[in-house]
Structure 1
Amino acid sequence: MSRQPDALRHVVASSADADTVVRRLLRDGWTVREGYALPSSTWDVTLERLVLYGRIGDRDTLKLAVLAAARGAGIVAVCDADSALGRALIDDLSRLGPVQLGPGNQTASPADAGDALAELIPEQRALLDRLAAGDTIAAAAAAEFLSLRTANRRIAEARALFGVRTTREAVLAYLRQRRAAD
């Protein structure tokens, strides 16, 4: 199964930036449609050379955009990359491949959504290290002399810092940023 070129996942800050990217794609022979609902019932739309664009204003629209990208459509999303929604969008799209930020060629990865590593407190680092080693949250909490409730709060705060939804994603983002910092 062939996939779209990496440059077809864009997150831009404004409608003007989206227009710049869309014009370039139209010149290159892509079919461009506003909105993220796919018209085709075929799962893989890669061969249709379809690019969908629009504003990402809520989680439902974010899910539609990511699903369309997973099915092979190009995406030009208007969203503030520094917002929680923008970080979640970049993280989800980055799982499919590189994401272009803005109309230029700045590439993002999930770690680029913010350097959360520097903002973690020692308790969060210790918990994430233990989770990465395979401990459960309860075992990590006991080993760090924290209540389970406090450990869950610290992990929830770490998820928010990394802009992810699951503890597993937070551990992976932590490990990725820690490796990059070494």
Structure 2
Amino acid sequence: MTRQTDAPRHVVATPGDADTVLRRLTRDGWVARDGFALPDPGWDVSSTRLVLHGRIGDADTLQLAVLAAARGAGIVAVCDAESPLGRALVDDLSRLGPVQHGAADPVPAGGNNVTDLVPEQRALLDRLAAGDTIAAAAAAEFLSLRTANRRIAEARALFGVRTTREAVLAYLRQRGSAPPPR
């Protein structure tokens, strides 16, 4: 079964970019459907490998797209990522996992791309780099310990490392910071 964080999330500028992404996703076994309303009454649709696509032109469509992503559907949204609506879309989708911008091939797992981290992951890694424990970092970010551990595990997978310490070091290298002194 596909995990919710495995569902693709793309925000692209043009319908042509959306077509490029959709062709790649359908080649990978995803089923594309126009619009962001989900026909399936069940909550978790991640096992259907459904990717919804369309233009985000108003707040209602934005809410439908984010809800579909939260339920496990893939999303390919045509929207100007620099507009207020686009920034809101990217922020909301980023809370669920990495968001790809444009039609370029996504960075594969282990692609070591710090920009693919969700804001919660960055905040947790910053706190861990400063010397906090995972429990303290979770509390400071108002996350449950379980969610914090899940976010850190996703970051380890993204960086292609086995330990949290290695993930923190990879994050600091990518961000351009030296590790804090001991």
What range is the shorter-chain TM-score in? 0.5 to 0.7
- Superposed displacement of residue 39, structure 1: 0.7
CA shift digits 1:5-50 (9 cap, x unpaired): 5460000000000000000111111111000000100100000000
**Normalised TM-score (structure 2):** 0.57
Q: Tell me the residue number matched to 1:27.
A: 27
For residue 11 of structure 1, give the secondary structure of its aligned residue in structure 2: strand
CA shift digits 1:48-104 (9 cap, x unpaired): 000000000000000000000000000000000000000000000000001000111
Call closer, same or farther: CA 1:91–1:110 in 2, change over 3 Å: farther
For residue 20 of structure 2, give the secondary structure of its aligned residue in structure 1: helix
Task: State how far apart, in whole Å, the 2-side matches of 1:87 and 1:4 are.
Answer: 21
CA contact (8 A) 2:13 2:102 kept: yes
Call closer, same or farther: CA 1:109–1:5 in 2, change over 3 Å: closer
Total equivalences in the alignment: 115
Call closer, same or farther: CA 1:49–1:72 in 2, change over 3 Å: same
For residue 80 of structure 2, give the secondary structure of its aligned residue in structure 1: coil
Query: Partner letter of residue 59 of structure 1?
Result: A
For residue 33 of structure 1, give the secondary structure of its aligned residue in structure 2: strand
Task: State how far apart, in whole Å, the 2-side matches of 1:82 and 1:110 are.
Answer: 18
Q: Tell me the residue number matched to 1:37.
A: 37
Identity of aligned residues (%): 69
Query: Partner letter of residue 26 of structure 1?
Result: T
CA shift digits 1:120-144 (9 cap, x unpaired): xxxxxxxxxxxx9xxxxxxxxxxxx
Gaps in structure 2 of 5+ consecutive residues: 108-114, 120-139, 141-174, 178-182
Q: Tell me the residue number matched to 1:88.
A: 88
**Normalised TM-score (structure 1):** 0.57
For residue 93 of structure 1, give the secondary structure of its aligned residue in structure 2: helix
Query: Partner letter of residue 54 of structure 1?
Result: G
For residue 10 of structure 2, give the secondary structure of its aligned residue in structure 1: strand
Instruction: Please show how residues 85-124 of structure 1 align to structure 2 within 5 Å.
Output: 85-104=85-104, 105=106, 107=115
CA shift digits 1:131-182 (9 cap, x unpaired): x9xxxxxxxxxxxxxxxxxxxxxxxxxxxxxxxxxxxxxxxxxxxxxxx798
- Superposed displacement of residue 4, structure 1: 3.9
Call closer, same or farther: CA 1:97–1:25 in 2, change over 3 Å: same
Query: Partner letter of residue 24 of structure 1?
Result: R
Greater C-alpha Rg: 1
Structure with greater helix percent: 1
Query: Partner letter of residue 85 of structure 1?
Result: L
Call closer, same or farther: CA 1:14–1:181 in 2, change over 3 Å: same
CA contact (8 A) 1:9 1:99 kept: yes
For residue 39 of structure 1, give the secondary structure of its aligned residue in structure 2: coil
